[in-house]
């Protein structure tokens, strides 16, 4: 292969990977800025409006286990391509204009994101085995930037096109189609791989730390998705214009880019992550309290505080999964359990907050409920953040300070030797957001 073709192949690989990561959150983040319009147009109650996000988040948890099955059957690259195409179809269906299409499209899009959440960390391991850390950072940054772009640009695009909420939300399908086109050369290559490694689920489910990690993962996701679904509406009802409310949500997401890259580096060197978990949760609670007390006074400050707290919380949740599991198989299993169960818990948030808003007639009770969830998040984080026997291998100590784990490239396994053109199916069981074998030097981010 000529040098020019090698460079083109590398460019398509990286560009497709970056654009695929960008598509993981716009379907979720692009709804809240126009939620009031959707509710008014289709006659939905606040609970019905919150259920749009709830449907997608339920899919993230319940249907994530489909991804390893698909990856073993078709390979990682083809599974990612299918996810992008199904995502585009779901976004178009969701914007068709009827209530059944709205919820059906949300379910289709959520299913695609659930599968993509799982395979993206494994794509990093497969195609970039010697650069797991940097490309995990690229993946996380793309994810957060996609959420920020959707929350900040949906209303301006609606005004610019004149097509209303249907046209603005349907435009999110374009990046998914573009990513699929760029990723097509990878999917056309022949998959390679061997037998799948066993996953230590039985021992994992008996370890108390598993449930602490799962609770922390779920509760920090719940407090995040509450703000993602409802904060623009809170700001609009406090008197802010719709586009400014979307910009504020975008600001919170942008802050998370830096936070999700920086926090794991520091916390991964510590024996205990309790101080980091405490700081992240208290910042999240402070943001909630600020929105409750003075939503229209200094809203940018509350969103900055929320961005720092929530970005740190998801980074710590994914880091703790890696620290508490002793090997790639255990990381995969713990990630699958924590994120599947965690997203099911998180899915309750937007719906319950919408229901509380409907019953109480204001935002005081719903935001107080969010503060209560922050308290539960802190309790779970205090347990998950302590050094503990490794999940999945009871009695074996988790890695602590000074042991950052093996070099990401050193334990990539046989599939890693195939370089950027392989598509190893059996090694694709990596749970959503986990980075098998990468140790605490990985840079997880807003992978919900």
Per-residue pLDDT of the chain (448 residues; tens, 9 = 90+): 578 888 888 999 999 999 998 999 899 888 888 888 999 999 998 888 888 988 898 888 888 778 777 877 888 899 999 999 999 999 999 999 899 999 999 999 999 998 888 787 777 777 877 765 567 667 777 887 888 888 888 889 988 888 889 999 999 999 999 999 999 999 998 755 444 445 556 777 788 888 998 899 899 989 988 987 888 889 989 888 887 887 887 788 778 888 877 777 777 778 888 999 999 999 999 999 999 999 988 999 999 999 999 988 987 887 777 677 665 456 566 777 777 888 788 778 888 898 999 899 899 999 999 999 999 999 999 999 988 554 444 334 334 333 333 333 333 333 333 344 444 443 433 333 333 333 333 333 344 5
**How many of the other CB atoms lie within 10 Å of CB of 316?**
29
CA distance 59 to 112: 9
3-state helix, strand, coil in the chain (%, to 5): 75, 0, 25
CA distance 314 to 391: 19
Grouping H, G, I as helix, E, B as strand and the rest as coil, residue 76 is helix
109 backbone dihedrals φ, ψ, rounded to 5°: -65, -40
Contacts of 262 (CB under 8 A, 6+ apart): none
Residue listed under structure tokens 């009695």: 395
H-state helical runs in 268-327: 274-293, 299-324
Q: What are the structure tokens assigned to 105, written together?
A: 């499209």
**How many of the other CB atoms lie within 10 Å of CB of 18?**
17
The structure's pTM equals 0.68
């Amino acid at each position: 292969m000529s040098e020019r073709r090698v460079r083109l192949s590398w460019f398509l690989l990286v560009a497709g990977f970056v654009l695929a990561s960008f598509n993981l959150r716009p379907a979720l983040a692009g709804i809240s800025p126009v939620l009031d319009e959707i509710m008014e147009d289709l006659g939905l109650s606040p609970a019905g409006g919150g259920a749009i996000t709830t449907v997608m988040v339920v899919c993230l948890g319940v249907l994530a286990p489909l991804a390893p099955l698909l990856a073993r059957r078709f390979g990682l690259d083809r599974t990612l391509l299918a996810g992008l195409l199904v995502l585009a179809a779901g976004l178009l269906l969701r914007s068709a204009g009827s209530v059944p299409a709205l919820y059906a499209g949300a379910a289709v899009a959520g299913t695609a994101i659930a599968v993509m959440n799982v395979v993206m960390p494994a794509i990093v391991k497969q195609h970039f085995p010697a650069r797991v850390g940097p490309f995990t950072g690229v993946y996380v940054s793309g994810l957060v930037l996609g959420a920020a772009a959707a929350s900040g640009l949906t209303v301006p695009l609606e005004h610019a096109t004149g097509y209303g909420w249907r046209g603005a939300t349907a435009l999110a399908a374009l990046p998914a189609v573009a990513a699929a086109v760029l990723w097509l050369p990878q999917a056309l290559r022949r998959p390679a791989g061997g037998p799948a490694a066993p996953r230590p689920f039985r021992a994992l489910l008996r370890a108390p730390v598993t449930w602490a990690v799962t609770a922390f993962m779920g509760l920090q996701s719940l407090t995040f998705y509450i703000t993602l679904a409802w904060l623009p509406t809170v700001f609009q009802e406090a008197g802010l214009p719709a586009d400014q409310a979307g910009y504020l949500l975008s600001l919170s997401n942008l802050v998370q880019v830096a936070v999700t890259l920086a926090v794991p580096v520091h916390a991964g060197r510590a024996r205990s992550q309790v101080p980091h978990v405490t700081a992240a949760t208290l910042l999240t609670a402070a943001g909630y309290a600020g929105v409750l007390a003075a939503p229209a006074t200094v809203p940018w400050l509350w969103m900055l505080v929320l961005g720092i707290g929530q970005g740190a919380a998801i980074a710590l949740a994914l880091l703790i999964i890696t620290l508490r599991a002793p090997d790639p198989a255990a990381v995969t299993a713990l990630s699958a359990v924590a994120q599947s169960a965690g997203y099911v818990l998180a899915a309750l948030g937007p719906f319950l907050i919408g229901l509380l808003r409907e019953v109480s007639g204001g935002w005081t009770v719903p935001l107080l409920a969010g503060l209560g969830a922050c308290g539960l998040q802190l309790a779970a984080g205090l347990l998950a953040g302590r050094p503990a026997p490794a999940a999945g291998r009871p009695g074996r100590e988790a890695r602590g300070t000074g042991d950052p784990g093996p070099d990401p490239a050193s334990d990539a396994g046989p599939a890693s030797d195939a370089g950027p053109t392989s598509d190893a199916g059996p090694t694709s069981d990596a749970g959503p957001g986990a980075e098998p074998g990468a140790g605490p030097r990985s840079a997880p981010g807003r992978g919900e």
